[in-house]
Amino acid sequence: PAPSAPAVSGVSLSALSEALLNIVSDKTGYPAEMLELEMDIEADLGIDSIKRVEILGAMRDEFPQLPDLPAEDLAELRTLQEIVDYMGDQMPSGSSNGKAEIASPKAPAPEKATNGGATPALTQLDHDIPRTPTALKPLPRPDFIAVDPPADGVCVLTDDGTPLTGMVAEGLSAKGWSVVVLSFPSDVVGRQSAIPSHVARVTLSDMAEVRIEEALKTISDGHGHIAAFVHISPSSHQLGANGDLFVSAEKALVKHAFLLAKHLKRPLNDAAERGYALFMTVARLDGAFGTRDGRYGAVSGGLFGLTKTVNLEWAGVFCRALDVSAGLDDATAAAQIIAEMHDPNRVLVDVGLSQSGRVTIVASAVV
């Protein structure tokens, strides 16, 4: 049963518990009446980290006064009750049962003005949050390990609407892969890439999640088990960013990359047990993770977080997140994408590719 506690600012732990159960029901499909707070998130409910992020995001939407919760702390929570208790413990005010309640956020301190009120002074924040500057680390060319495509295995390649997709498909076919190109609706990606005649294409009629399930089933039933997935994101300029950081089409594509990962979990892990599986995302920023050039949208940067999460959870699947500079010509970009698929280095996840060379991003120091 949900814990009861006096309400503070109109929100109690029991309200948190009820909301969490309803959200978990909505996200997982389990009837709310079957859920118990003592259930194990993974063992009982099968909730992975991607689904956990969706659930916690929905909680933040319903209770905007919830503070930011560190992902590393949340990863340690095993049951729904632990999530509720943890949320309560992070709140500044206490309740009679020892659990903290959600308090209204403090009003920001008034800004101090200087020069007669013309320029507000910066508020000094007292915190112990470490700052970790990032730096680019040059990398040598990737080593090469021969990868025999799995028997009856398929590589699913998303369509960015440029010749790059066709070139990658051709290069993979030359290495023995059976390739299926997954194209998006024309209102998201304006045109379809030209692809070789021997490469199959499946087109999503709309961006509903059910269409992803249907498309992946069509591919598995008609072409073979899915053993590799490469998502090529169109550049922000191609999507009509015009300097905008947040482009609706780019947001829709990143969301679908997350949903594709959700539905590819089982087939790719099954393929890994048979010998080889790949999950790769390709963003088109500046080839340096956004540290050199600001002429792109910010949303596709989420592909790096997705790929690193998948890398931690899918131990047998080779995962890599590429930032391929939009300034690279398509033929060079295609060759480098395929080369990264054959890199034996399983520790490295983030790789930037540009005219300046190959890099990764590291923490340079803590200040």
* 347 pLDDT above the threshold of 80: yes
C-alpha distances out from residue 64 to 20, 50, 58, 98, 102, Å? 14, 21, 10, 23, 10
Tokens 């790789």 belong to 351
pLDDT tier at 47, thresholds 50, 70, 90: confident
HEC profile for 258-326?
A: HHHHHHHHHHHHHHHHHCCCEEEEEECCCCCCCCCCCCCCCHHHHHHHHHHHHHHHCCCCEEEEEEECC
5 vs 210, higher pLDDT: 210
204 vs 78, higher pLDDT: 204
- What predicted TM-score, i.e. pTM, was given to this entire model? 0.66
Domain residue spans in the chain?
A: 13-89, 137-363
In DSSP terms, which residues pair with 137 in a beta bridge? 360
For the segment 203-218, the average pLDDT, to the nearest whole number, is 94
What pLDDT, on the 0 to 100 scale, is given for residue 119? 52
330 vs 112, higher pLDDT: 330
What pLDDT, on the 0 to 100 scale, is given for residue 259? 94
pLDDT tier at 338, thresholds 50, 70, 90: very high
What pLDDT, on the 0 to 100 scale, is given for residue 237? 63
pLDDT over 70 for what percent of the chain? Answer: 81
pLDDT in tens, 7-37: 334 467 888 888 899 888 888 777 777 788 9
Asked whether 17 and 37 are in contact (CB, 8 A), the reply is: yes
Tokens 């029901």 belong to 25
Query: How much is the mean pLDDT over the chain?
Result: 83
Asked whether 55 and 23 are in contact (CB, 8 A), the reply is: yes
CATH topology of domain 137-363: Rossmann fold (3.40.50)
pLDDT tier at 133, thresholds 50, 70, 90: confident
Measured in degrees and rounded to the nearest 5, phi and psi for residue 230 equal -130, 115
Helix axes 248-274, 209-223, angle to 10 degrees: 40
* 66 pLDDT above the threshold of 70: yes
In DSSP terms, which residues pair with 359 in a beta bridge? 138, 352
For the segment 160-188, the average pLDDT, to the nearest whole number, is 95
**Which of 106-115, 170-179, 314-323, 346-355 has the least mean pLDDT?**
106-115
For the segment 44-64, the average pLDDT, to the nearest whole number, is 81
* 164 pLDDT above the threshold of 60: yes
pLDDT tier at 332, thresholds 50, 70, 90: very high
What pLDDT, on the 0 to 100 scale, is given for residue 170? 97
What pLDDT, on the 0 to 100 scale, is given for residue 153? 94
What pLDDT, on the 0 to 100 scale, is given for residue 58? 85
Residue 230: strand, helix, or coil: strand
For the segment 220-230, the average pLDDT, to the nearest whole number, is 97
* 274 pLDDT above the threshold of 80: yes
Asked whether 96 and 104 are in contact (CB, 8 A), the reply is: no
What pLDDT, on the 0 to 100 scale, is given for residue 238? 58
DSSP-derived pairing of the beta strands 357-363 and 134-139:
antiparallel
Indicate the CATH number for domain 13-89. 1.10.1200.10
282 vs 234, higher pLDDT: 282
- The end-to-end CA distance of the chain, in Å, is 46
Asked whether 142 and 118 are in contact (CB, 8 A), the reply is: no
What pLDDT, on the 0 to 100 scale, is given for residue 294? 62
